[in-house]
Structure 1
């Protein structure tokens, strides 16, 4: 029996669990929703059109501007010191009336949507730390999923029955173009996480075998398996980080004009890189076992008469 091999067993167990969590995080309502890759905040969408309506005070052929003019007529004649709060309230109401949710969060196999409670925008009475997500529903789990914000928003607009499109909201095409460039990376990320989980499971089996028997050969095989799992997990984590950073940057760059912003999923990155880290520890542990096995073999050889 090799008690020192228990440590890489624990590392392999942790890697398998963390890998599954990365794959299935947010796969259903209220299951690890905070562990998203990125979140699209649409609670203030239409603010640009609202500002245009308030400043011009005139009608327009744009259906959304005409609709907002009616929605804001009650406050257009009462501009006070509380105008900002009033505008924020109207913007939130506009998003709700259009059928849009406050946020759309992207996960590895689906996306979820819902509203911020008690309200989407902090003010003098509600701090940002007091605002939480309230999940409405999630899309169906799909292997090789790719988050398409344009399709998600159009689906919500169509369900409202108002006949308003993203073109009416001046939705930038550059957002979709930027995220389409990440489509292959998103799918590769899913494949690599699956490979990482499979290899981590093999590391677990090999480590269990190494606990109860085997010499340097079993340790060497486990080093090889752990290295492959580490590379798969590490590349998947790197791609996930790149997708989150690049996707958020694109949305924030082009979405600012229409009141849309994005947030990266820090918690998802944390568990993903943690899985990579424990596999690195498993590699070190089995390398030590290889060295110990070689030293013991030399000692046995020199002690022979």
Structure 2
């Protein structure tokens, strides 16, 4: 019975970490620093001001999360934190559309400027439409699958409080969750790296810059690592429980 407490707590921890991967950015104040990537437009705004002597009415930063996008302005000399942050509605299929975000800001402020005059690279938008958004949606699905398996593991752990030997079977569910987390984490890591490189490569000439702080990666890979370790602990717990129960007969 007691041997299942540790792996049960580990599985609950992984469940929470995985849930946080999906919930980051749900509101302007909920885990704002755990974005997958950030699109910084301050260079574009500075270049526009220099050439036209007018302000460009767009947000300074657009943050992409698993289920939403948030936009805000630097509070002090282009440094954190962001202020006046607004977030899009939470969606199970969140699509990051840089051109639409910029165009919406321009139209909202009735600016005569358009994306063509800003020389916005169409290749950036095409990459998100054709690859990155779909890949992130696939990652989202695997996060949900991982939560499903983790939920089963947690419920199974409660059962093993009475039949500890059953803890060995939890390894099967944990392995399925680990596989799902590995796929989701790998996809997110690849998208993050490739999208940031593409934006900086194609948008650097007009002042667009993308980056990430690594906190989301730390969150998702920690979930995978702890879950993988919990599989080993579940196996040991089941084995020990079997020995104890066997010695009782």
Fold agreement, TM-score > 0.5: yes
Gap runs ≥5 in structure 1: 54-67, 72-93, 121-129
Aligned to 1:35: 34
Asked whether 1:207 is paired with 2:206, we answer: no
Aligned to 2:102: 153
SS in 1 for 2:161: helix
Q: How many aligned residue pairs are there?
A: 248
SS in 1 for 2:44: coil
SS in 1 for 2:145: helix
Aligned to 1:82: none
Asked whether 1:257 is paired with 2:205, we answer: yes
| d(CA) in 1 for partners of 2:48, 2:75 | 24
- For residue 299 of structure 1, report the CA deviation from its aligned partner: 5.9
Aligned to 2:119: 170
| d(CA) in 2 for partners of 1:42, 1:227 | 42
Structure 1 residue ranges, 4+ long, deviating more than 3 angstroms after superposition: 46-51, 293-301
**Are the aligned partners of 1:30 and 1:135 in contact in 2 as well (CA < 8 Å)?**
no
SS in 2 for 1:45: helix
| d(CA) in 2 for partners of 1:212, 1:152 | 55
**Are the aligned partners of 1:16 and 1:197 in contact in 2 as well (CA < 8 Å)?**
yes
- For residue 102 of structure 1, report the CA deviation from its aligned partner: 0.4
Aligned to 1:99: 57
Asked whether 1:289 is paired with 2:237, we answer: yes
Aligned to 1:197: 147
**Are the aligned partners of 2:3 and 2:241 in contact in 1 as well (CA < 8 Å)?**
no
Aligned to 2:192: 244
| d(CA) in 2 for partners of 1:135, 1:265 | 21
What do residues 254-289 of structure 1 show as CA deviations (whole Å, max 9, x unaligned)?
111010101124111111111111211210111213
What do residues 221-248 of structure 1 show as CA deviations (whole Å, max 9, x unaligned)?
2000111111111211111111111111
1:117 to 75, 78, 84: 75
| d(CA) in 1 for partners of 2:84, 2:12 | 31
Give me the TM-score of the superposition, normalised by structure 2.
Answer: 0.92
Aligned to 2:43: 44
- For residue 164 of structure 1, report the CA deviation from its aligned partner: 1.2
**Are the aligned partners of 2:73 and 2:84 in contact in 1 as well (CA < 8 Å)?**
yes
Aligned to 1:273: 221
What do residues 54-100 of structure 1 show as CA deviations (whole Å, max 9, x unaligned)?
xxxxxxxxxxxxxx1xx2xxxxxxxxxxxxxxxxxxxxxx5xx3320
What do residues 200-232 of structure 1 show as CA deviations (whole Å, max 9, x unaligned)?
1111111121123242xx223200011111111
Give me the TM-score of the superposition, normalised by structure 1.
Answer: 0.76
Aligned Cα root-mean-square deviation (Å)? 2.0
SS in 1 for 2:39: strand
Asked whether 1:187 is paired with 2:132, we answer: no
**Are the aligned partners of 2:40 and 2:209 in contact in 1 as well (CA < 8 Å)?**
yes
**Are the aligned partners of 1:26 and 1:32 in contact in 2 as well (CA < 8 Å)?**
yes
